[in-house]
Every structure is written in structure tokens, then in C-alpha cells.
Amino acid sequence: MVSRAERLMNLHILLLGARRFLDKEAIRRACYPDHPDTPAGDEAFERAFERDKDSLRQIGAFIEVGTTDAYFDDEVGYRIPTEQTSLPEIRLEADEAAVLGLAAQVWQDATLSRATSRAVAKLRAQGIEVDAQRLEVMPPSIASTEPAFEPLWDAVQKRRVVTFDYHRGAAAVASRRRIRPWGLVRTSGRWYVVGHDVDRDAPRVFRLSRIAGRVRASGKSGAYDVPAGTDVRAIVRAFDPEAARVRAELLVRRGAGLTLRRRAESDRPAPADVAPGGDPGPWDEVVLEGGVEQLAGEVLSHGPDVVVVGPEVLRSVVVDRLRAVVETQGASR
Amino acid sequence: MSAAASGPETAPDQVARLLALVPYLLARGEVRLDEAAAHFGVSPAQLDKDLRLLFLTGLSPGLPGDLIEVDIDALEGEGVIRVDNADYLARPVRFAPAEATALIVALRTMLDGAEGEARGVLERTLAKLEEVAGADPETLLSLHVDEPVVPGDDLVPLLEGAIARGHQVRLDYHVPTRDERSQRVVDPRGVTRVENVHYLDAWCHTADGDRVFRLDRILSAEELDTPVEDPSRRPRDLTQGWFSDEQVAVVTLRLEPPAFWVSEYYPVLERREGPDGTLEVALEVASDDWLTRLLLRVAPHATVVEPEGRTTAFVAQARNALRLYGTDG
């Protein structure tokens, strides 16, 4: 019994640098001795071969598909051209190589961290010595704890249609969505998937934390192309008002709100007659930038020590959320 | 390295490593097993397995002569790797789209928070890698990260330096539950990252006890010339929850979807599905003030299931805050 890793190696070597396209029969004879010449064996071979091609592409091989016969173009063959499949030589200074060692630490989830490690191993193959100790840089640490991340990232790579249930807004019932995912964006600490909503026939943005249950991919790989010039980051900003960044004008009670003041653009005493809701303070005028939702959470956490003056989008989010608490939980006083 | 990244290895992972290993071995001619293992960040035992697989592969699998040659005697005897008859694998495979994307986006994210000399290094590295990854924009998949720079991360080199030299540190620290600042002198022991936040574990001379400080709440830090009192003290394991020294109460919260992040951000003792698509989690809570702030932050999407009576302060605070907007709800 040939192990899968052994089979993949042999398939790669067989196709690598082949002068002509090799048809499936030749490939099967060379690399798939465990699949017998029966209808069931044929089917198992087809499945295994498809999966193996996908795996080789995932680790970087460029598999060229062409016809094996100059006169009849119905016989499909495969090869891996050496030049297109090989990593161009890259020369890195010692400090540049040190940076690579830190890059793999950025991703806290298995998929992206493995992909980064594989890329770094290819550079090590060229003899580059990666030593993270040489540089005093603090890599950020990015988690993707949402279970939807992995299947969506996989679908983005393979260009496969996905289906999932989505909560629009905070409390609404989940509805079934079908999209062609174009890409993933993280902003203000949240992951979004951008794609073409098949049923609505328009681009849409979905927050991963609001996806309920499993994400299912269906259909073939390479089912669509991402339209040229698509800027997924700009789409997220345009679609999700909560991802928009605003300049917040706040009143902060003197002596309170240190976490807000640290990031403030300006922080100065408010005029003595400033008294929101009749509260004389004293207050300070603090201005800082941030995502609406993130700022709203921070403002709320300070309770009656912070008041939003503007913009209205932030002020109304905060007021609505406070009102909801008083209305739903205030009765049990 | 994160725990998530250490899952079982797949066959493609192993093949990817073999295809990187062979060019390295061919270029070096002869390499010690332990040296090669260290170079690729795997155990010598794993590398030994890799080589025994490599030995079975080649141009005509099943036929001797055309297989890759691995000098098993040298491997078993001297712990030295010699590989031959593999010239067609002399060059590593180019980056797959997902690999190029993951590496380049990681570096771009580091660049966003970097300053000074490190910034220059990152820019040079990125320029070279982007060139190798290919001018074709299709090579990079769509993945964008705008990671907010966490205040306090810039203190890590200073604190690590003080720990390495065994020096005390003076901290200007913000105590959020009382929203006040305090000056302390501490013996730093270690810096740990839990989720997205860095913590300093230290002996605090001001409080005369073990304390854990969140780096994003350290307003300033200064390394002193004075040595720490007991350099042999090792840092504590903070990943098991950082309230361990304090009086804690267990509180069960019911979270609506917008507040689900709470269950990922704080260590939870227990989690179960609640009614109407909610999530119920049990948390260790060290102070009422902390709980009130958390409930306000996610308001109105979290409620206390038990114990009863833990929401009075929270609702009162919400009502007082609402009054400041000239409305009573």
C-alpha cells in the first residue's frame, strides 16, 4: 500500500519537467498501483487523482493541462513545467530573514499559520537562515476564532460557492445566503467576508461572527472569477456602517476615562457651563478616532462618566443601547 | 507558536516540506540530521521519517535505479544526510497563492504597527517577497487586515530588557475598575500574551504581593538600576486565568450574538446554548465594578442569569448615563 504522501511525491516528480503531456492512463500506471482495473477502481482513481491535483496546486505546483495528441484534441494530459513551478531565487539580508521568523507568529489559527510556515520553508530551501531573535519587533497576534473562517478561506482559494445562515442585525432571525466569496477582510477586530450574493445578484458583506451554524461549500472549484479591480476592503467600508471610522467628540468626566484619553487627538477642559442632562461635571472635551461599534462599546463601558456629543451615528447607537437596557431590565429593579 | 497550529500534519504538509528539504540538502551536499531538523523547525525523528519516505520516491516508482538515493548507513551511523539522484528537485516550488497571501499579509500587518528601523526592514522584505510572489495580481488572494495597534505593545522590548537584566521597573498604571492611576515599583518576571492582550507578571512592592498588569493599561514604564529582590522567581502561568490570586465569584451570563465575543475574549468555565439562539457562559468575576463595565460595554446584549441581584448597579449606571443625554428613556 502506497501512502498518500508517497503518491503525491511520485506524482509531482512524474509530471515535473515532463517534455510532453502525460495522459491519465500513463499517470495511473506509474503512480496509482493500488487502484484495480474495475469500475469501482476507475472511480476511486478519478477521485484520488482530482484530490491529488488539488493538493499539489495548494502547495504551489503549476499543473499545465493540454492535449497529448497533435491530431486529436480529445485526449487530455498533464505536466508541471519546471520554470513556472520553481521559486525564483531571492536574496535576503540577515535582518530581512529575521522578520520572516516573526511572520508565522502573526496568525493564531492553523490554516494561515501553516501556509505562512510553508512559504518560509521554501525560502529556507534556498539556504536562507531565519532567526527571529535578531530583531526587536513585536508581531501582532491575529486570531480567527469564528468557525466560519476556515471554510470561507478555503472557498476563496478554490473559488467555490458557499451557503450559510446569517443573522442580519442583532436580533433578527437567521436567513439562508448563497455567495461566491471574493475575499476576507479584518477591520476593528472583526472578520468580514465579501462576495457576490447569488440570490440577490449583487455584492454583499457578511460579518463572520453573525454566521450561524456551518458554512457549506458546493459545486466545482474555479466556479467563478473575482471581477477585475475588486477592492474588498472598500466594499466592507461602504456596506457596514459599523466598520466606518469616525471622529468622536466626547465629554469625559474629569479624572475618568483614561483609556479613551490615551488615544485622544485632543483633550481639554470643557467650558464651565457645559452640563449634559444638568450634570455640572466638571467635564473635559476629548476627541478621538475609531470604528463606530468599538467606540460605542468603550463609551458605554464608562457609564455616566462619558457622553457622546457627536457624530450623530455614534450618539444614536449609544442612546439606543442604553435605552434598551433601561426598558428591558429596568423593570426588575 | 499557537496551540491551534500544532494539529496533526497532513500528507500535503509533509510533501511540501520534502520539496523544500531536497533543494537545501542538494545545495549543502552533506548535512547533519539535527542541523537540518533545526533549520526546518521539525524534530530529528520527523526528519528521519521524511527521509525514509523520500527514499521510496523517484522517477519510476517501484523500479530500483531511478529512485532518489538517501544514504541510510550514513543517516543511521553518523547522523548525516546525503541525498543523490534528485537533481530534478533542485529548486523549491514557488509560493502557492494561499502561502504568498498569508506571508505577505502577515508582514503588511506587522508593518502597520512598526516604527523606525524595523519599519525599514519590513518594507525591504515585503518589496522582495512581493516581487517573487509574482506581478500577477491573481497570485495574491483577497485577504486584508487592518489591525488596530494595541497600546502598550511598544513596552514589550523595554520590559523584556528589564527582565533579562534583572532590574526593577517603575510603572504608571491605570486601574480601570476604579478609573484611577497609580505609581508602583515592581520586580518584573515575565510578559505573556493571552488572546490579544499582553500581561506583565510581577511582584508589586507597592501592593506587597504578586500582581498581573495589562500592558495596555500601563501609561508609562521606566527601567530602574536597582536589581529585583529574588531573581530566581519564575513567571506564573497566566493562560489559566489571571484572577487566581483574588476573590472570585462565578457569574453566568446570557449572551446574544453581538456579545458572543465575550466567550472568546475571557476564559469561560462553562458554556452552553441558551434560549432563542443565545449563549450562556459562566465566568470568574473578580469585582462587581468589572462586571458592571462588561455589561455596559455589550449592553443590551448580555444579562446575568445567576446569581440574582448582580445587575442592580449596571441598570442604575445605564439609567444615569441615559439622563446625561437629556432623556429618561
Q: Pick A135's closest partner by Cβ from B18, B121, B196.
A: B121
- Residue B134 DSSP SS3: coil
The whole-number pLDDT of residue A333 equals 41
d(CA B119, CA A103): 14
Cell 502547495 maps to which residue? A59
Q: Is the pLDDT of residue B3 over 60?
A: no
| Partner-chain contact A16 B88, CB within 8 Å | yes
Q: Pick B102's closest partner by Cβ from A13, A112, A210.
A: A112
Q: B48-57, B181-190, B257-266 — which is least confidently predicted? A: B257-266
pTM for this one?
Answer: 0.68
Across the range B191-218, mean pLDDT stands at 81
Task: Classify the complex by whether its ipTM is higher than 0.90, answering yes or no.
Answer: no
Across the range A171-200, mean pLDDT stands at 87
Is A280 in CB contact (< 8 Å) with chain B? no
Each domain of chain A, given as residue ranges in start order, spans 4-85, 94-134, 149-238, 244-332
The whole-number pLDDT of residue B208 equals 85
Within 8 A of A274 by CB-CB distance, chain B residues are none
Across A30-50, b (16+ Cβ under 10 Å) vs e yields bbbeebeeeeeeeeebeebbe
Is B309 in CB contact (< 8 Å) with chain A? no
Within 8 A of B301 by CB-CB distance, chain A residues are 170
Query: Which pLDDT band, with edges at 50, 70 and 90, does B144 fall under?
Result: confident
DSSP, residue by residue, A103-140: HHHHB-SHHHHHHHHHHHHHHHHTT----GGG------
Q: A45-49, A208-212, B222-226 — which is least confidently predicted? A: A208-212
Residue A149: closest CA among chain B residues belongs to which residue?
Answer: B143
CA distance A45 to chain B (A): 17
Is B322 in CB contact (< 8 Å) with chain A? yes
The whole-number pLDDT of residue B41 equals 81
- Give the max Cα distance, chain A: 91
Is A175 in CB contact (< 8 Å) with chain B? no
Across the range B212-236, mean pLDDT stands at 83
d(CA B312, CA B291): 11
d(CA A57, CA B5): 21
Q: For helices B11-28 and A39-58, give the axis angle rounded to 10 degrees.
A: 60
Q: Pick A277's closest partner by Cβ from B2, B11, B325.
A: B325
Within 8 A of A319 by CB-CB distance, chain B residues are 322, 325, 327
Is A133 in CB contact (< 8 Å) with chain B? no
Write down the architecture of domain A149-238 according to CATH. Answer: Roll (2.30)
d(CA A91, CA A83): 18
Q: B94-103, B241-250, B295-304 — which is least confidently predicted? A: B241-250
CA distance A218 to chain B (A): 20
d(CA B152, CA B221): 10
Within 8 A of B12 by CB-CB distance, chain A residues are 8, 55-56, 58-59
Specify the CATH class of B249-323 in words: alpha beta
Domain with CATH 2.30.30 in chain B: 153-227
Across the range A183-187, mean pLDDT stands at 90
Query: Which pLDDT band, with edges at 50, 70 and 90, does B270 fall under?
Result: confident
Q: Pick B93's closest partner by Cβ from A85, A209, A294.
A: A85
Share of chain B above pLDDT 70, in %: 84
Residue A186: closest CA among chain B residues belongs to which residue?
Answer: B145
How far are the Cα atoms of A64, A274, A299, B237 from residue A308, in angstroms, in the given order? 60, 13, 8, 40
Cell 478555503 maps to which residue? A154
Is B157 in CB contact (< 8 Å) with chain A? yes
Across the range A293-321, mean pLDDT stands at 91
pLDDT in tens, B152-195: 777 887 888 888 888 999 998 887 666 678 889 999 988 876 65
The dihedral region occupied by A222, where left means phi > 0, alpha psi between -120 and 50, and beta the remainder, is: left
| Partner-chain contact B95 A60, CB within 8 Å | yes
Is A222 in CB contact (< 8 Å) with chain B? no
Across the range A170-194, mean pLDDT stands at 84
Q: Is the pLDDT of residue A323 over 80?
A: yes
Is the fold of A4-85 the same as that of A149-238? no
Q: Is the pLDDT of residue A221 over 90?
A: no
| Partner-chain contact A297 B196, CB within 8 Å | no
Evaluate whether B80 touches B32 at the Cβ level (below 8 Å): yes
Evaluate whether A165 touches B181 at the Cβ level (below 8 Å): no
pLDDT in tens, A14-46: 999 788 899 998 899 888 988 888 899 999 999
The whole-number pLDDT of residue B2 equals 36
Q: Pick A119's closest partner by Cβ from B1, B103, B317.
A: B103
Evaluate whether B325 touches A276 at the Cβ level (below 8 Å): yes
* Contacting B residues, span 5-44, partner chain A, CB-CB under 8 Å: 5, 7, 11-24, 27-28, 39-41
| Partner-chain contact A330 B329, CB within 8 Å | yes
CATH number of B153-227: 2.30.30
CATH number of A4-85: 1.10.10
Domain with CATH 1.10.10 in chain B: 9-89
| Partner-chain contact A232 B88, CB within 8 Å | no
Residue A3: closest CA among chain B residues belongs to which residue?
Answer: B11
Is A297 in CB contact (< 8 Å) with chain B? yes
B9-89: which CATH topology?
Answer: Arc Repressor Mutant, subunit A (1.10.10)
CA distance B264 to chain A (A): 8
CA distance B174 to chain A (A): 7
Q: Pick B92's closest partner by Cβ from A125, A186, A321.
A: A125
Query: Which pLDDT band, with edges at 50, 70 and 90, does B32 fall under?
Result: very high
CA distance B225 to chain A (A): 22
Evaluate whether A97 touches A130 at the Cβ level (below 8 Å): yes
- Residue A147 DSSP SS3: coil
CA distance A124 to chain B (A): 7
| Partner-chain contact B143 A183, CB within 8 Å | yes
Look over chain B and give the mean of its residue pLDDT values, rounded to a whole number. 81
Q: Is the pLDDT of residue B5 over 50?
A: no
| Partner-chain contact B106 A279, CB within 8 Å | no
The dihedral region occupied by A173, where left means phi > 0, alpha psi between -120 and 50, and beta the remainder, is: beta
